[in-house]
Amino acid sequence: MRANPIAALDLTHLRVLDTMLQEQSVRQTADRLCLSPSAISHALARLRTVTGDQLFIRSANTMLPTARALEIAPMLSEAMRLLEASLAEPHFDPAISTREFRIACFPFIAKNVLPEAMRLIHAEAPSIRLRAWPVTEQLVSDLDSGRLDCAFGSFARVPDWAVTRELFREEMVIAMRRGGPMANRKLTPEDLARYPHVDVQTDDENTQLIENFHVQNGLERQISATGWEKLKSVLEQRGLERKVALVTTDTLCALAVVSQTDMMSLVIRRVAERFAKSFDLELFAPPYEEDPMPIHLIRHKRQDNDPAVNWLCSRLSDAARAYDEAPASA
C-alpha cells in the first residue's frame, strides 16, 4: 500500500511550499515565515523527497516552480486558506449574513416579544431568517443537538451545559368574563373551587413532572402558571378542589373561552390586561401571595464563542427589555 505523503510532513512544510510558490525566493520566504534560510532549504528537501519532484529550479534571480509545483499550487493555496479559516477567530457580520436561526418560545412570547425582536434583527440583518417553534419536551435534546439555537422558558434548575439569563418576571391574575357571577366582587378561595378552570400548559401531562416542572437531564422547566401549586395548596387547606374543564397551550384561547362562559383562568397579568377590553374580561388578584414567574433565555454553553448566536441572544434580550419596560395597557 502506498504511504500517505502527509504523514511525512508537518504544517511548516506546507507553509514553506505555499509561500515559496508565491515568493519564488528562499530569502523572502524565510523572512515572511520568520525562519532561517537553512530551515527553508531543509523543508524543501523533505518536500522533494515526498513528492518525488524537484519543485523549484534555480535561475539567475529566482526559484522557478516546476510543472508539478504549478499543479500543486492552486490546491495547496485553497487548502491553506480553508485551514486558516477553520482555525481563525469566528466572525459574524449581520449586515451580509443569510443565516437561519431556530428558537423555541411560548405563544405569549411570540406575540409580545418577537415583533420587536424582528424589528431589531432586520434593522441590522435584512437577510437573516428566524424560525420559531413551540417549547416542547424535546427542548433539551434540541438544544444539545443544535436543532435549536436558544429558547425562552422559566427554569428552576439549570445543568452545567446550559447558559441562561433572566429577562423579566410575570405576575398572574384570574380572568373571568365581565358581568359574570363574580362581577365587582373580591375573589375568595371558595370561588376558585366553585367555578371550572381553563388551564394554560405548554406540555403534555404525561411528561415527567415535579409539581408543575418538566424535568429532563438536569433541566427543570416550568410548564404552567406559577400560581397553580399555591392555588392547589390554598384549596387543600380548606378541603376544596378545583375543577379543570379545559387545558390549552395558548393564553388567548383560554381568554376567549372564559369570555363566553362562567369559567376562570389563571393567566399572565400583562397578557390579560392587553386583551381584557377586546375579550370583555374582569381580572382578579389571586387570593394568595405568590412570587412572580421568571422568564429566561437559554442556550447551550458550547455556543459561548459563536458570535452569531451571541448577537441573536442580545437582540432577543433587547426586545424582551422593551416589552418589560412598556407601559401597562389601559
Q: How would DSSP label each residue in 69-120? A: HHHHHHHHHHHHHHHHHHHSPP---TTT---EEEEEE-HHHHHHTHHHHHHH
Architecture label for domain 100-151+298-325:
3-Layer(aba) Sandwich (3.40)
Most confident residue range from 143-157, 213-227, 228-242, 246-260: 246-260
Rounded CA gap, 136 and 52, in Å?
60
Quick one: pLDDT at residue 328? 65
Contact 263, 196 (CB under 8 A): yes
Quick one: pLDDT at residue 212? 47
Name, in order, each residue with C-beta under 8 angstroms of 322's C-beta and a sequence gap of 6 or more. 116
Q: Tens digit of pLDDT for each residue in 18-67?
A: 999 988 999 999 998 899 999 999 999 999 988 889 999 988 788 899 99
Name, in order, each residue with C-beta under 8 angstroms of 79's C-beta and a sequence gap of 6 or more. 14
Q: Tens digit of pLDDT for each residue in 163-208?
A: 999 999 999 899 999 998 888 888 888 999 999 999 887 654 444 3
**pLDDT reading at 257 higher than 80:** yes
Q: Do domains 100-151+298-325 and 172-291 have the same CATH topology?
A: yes
Mean pLDDT of all residues belonging to the chain: 85
Q: Tens digit of pLDDT for each residue in 92-144?
A: 899 999 999 999 998 888 888 999 999 999 999 999 999 998 888 788 888 88
**Where residue 283 falls among pLDDT bands split at 50, 70, 90?**
very high
Name, in order, each residue with C-beta under 8 angstroms of 260's C-beta and a sequence gap of 6 or more. 177
Looking at the chain, how many residues does it have? 330
Residue boundaries of the structural domains of the chain: 5-87, 100-151+298-325, 172-291
Quick one: pLDDT at residue 226? 52
Rounded CA gap, 228 and 248, in Å?
15
Quick one: pLDDT at residue 88? 63
* Reported pTM: 0.68
DSSP H helical segments within 104-245, as ranges? 107-112, 114-124, 139-145, 189-194, 228-237
* Cell 499550487, located at residue: 73
Assigned CATH for 5-87: 1.10.10.10
- Cell digits for 10? 508537518
Assigned CATH for 172-291: 3.40.190.10
